[in-house]
Amino acid sequence: MLMSIKVRVGIRVPKFPSVISGGIRILSEYNFDFGVQLDRAKLLKLIAFGVASPTELVRRLNMPRAKVFRYLNALIKRGWLVRKDGGYYLAATIFLVYRVREFGDYAVLEVLNDKGAIVDQKAGLVIINGKESPKACPRCPLLQECTNNIRSISKSLGITITSITPADAYLELISTIINEGLVKILLNDYIDLHVNNGL
């Protein structure tokens, strides 16, 4: 099932050559978790940096060709990628994650504020996957790089971040996108659910 949302209000979403559209895509938690597994995340990060050719992806990943194509096809099916003119591109600039819960007669769609991915010109694809302890940030050797990444991303999205540590800042960024952007979009727009009936 694919949800497509037309963005008209809320977050300003920049466009990148590695992204087929400059929009927001909401992935199921299952599809998100599939994409952020180590080898598939490496593949997505290369594509985010503009490596669209399957031949170049095989060379840079140093993986068997069949495995790379298997991953590419699976990532298309799960909503991460789009194939165009023989190349592979990310399907959106911002990937949010939802979980569906059943409560009796109701199905509740919950957009998670601790998982997501954002394309950045300098950092490539930044994956936020769960809450990390902000206490680890001061000791981390990538502290400055993470700080620069979050500044770059928040600036490109027009979002002001108040958190001190990158761990908190990434979560604040995702929460802001959900609360200030997605909520307004959902209040003012509609969602198309595309169901494949085997036709």
How many structural domains does the chain have?
1
- 9 found inside a domain: no
For residue 43, give its domain range: 21-193
15 falls within a domain: no
Show Cβ contacts of residue 112 under 8 Å, excluding neighbours closer than 6 positions.
29, 96, 97, 98, 99
Report how far residue 187's alpha carbon sits from residue 178's, in angstroms, rounded to the nearest whole number.
Answer: 12
CB 47 within 8 A of CB 81: yes
User: Is the pTM above the cut of 0.95?
Assistant: no
> In this predicted model, which residue has the larger pLDDT, 71 or 7?
71
Looking up residue 84, the CATH number of its domain turns out to be: 1.10.10.10
Question: Parallel, antiparallel, or unpaired for β 94-103 and 106-120?
Answer: antiparallel
Q: What is the pLDDT of residues 11-69, one digit of tens each?
A: 667 777 888 777 888 999 999 999 999 999 999 999 999 999 999 999 999 999 999 99
pLDDT per residue as tens digits for the range 129-179: 887 666 667 777 778 888 888 888 888 888 889 988 888 888 888 888 888
Whether residue 88 lies inside any domain: the answer is: yes
Domain assignment present for residue 122? The answer is yes
39 inside domain: yes
Who contacts 19 (Cβ-Cβ below 8 Å, separation ≥6)?
89, 90, 91, 92, 93, 119
Residue with tokens 């302890």: 133
Give domain status of residue 158, yes or no: yes
φ and ψ of 6, to 5 deg: -90, 120
Give the list of residues 6+ apart from residue 29 with CB closer than 8 angstroms, or none. Answer: 97, 98, 99, 112, 115
In this structure, the number of other CB atoms found within 10 A of the CB of residue 87 comes to 17
Query: pLDDT, tens digit, for every residue of 105-124?
Result: 888 888 888 899 999 888 88
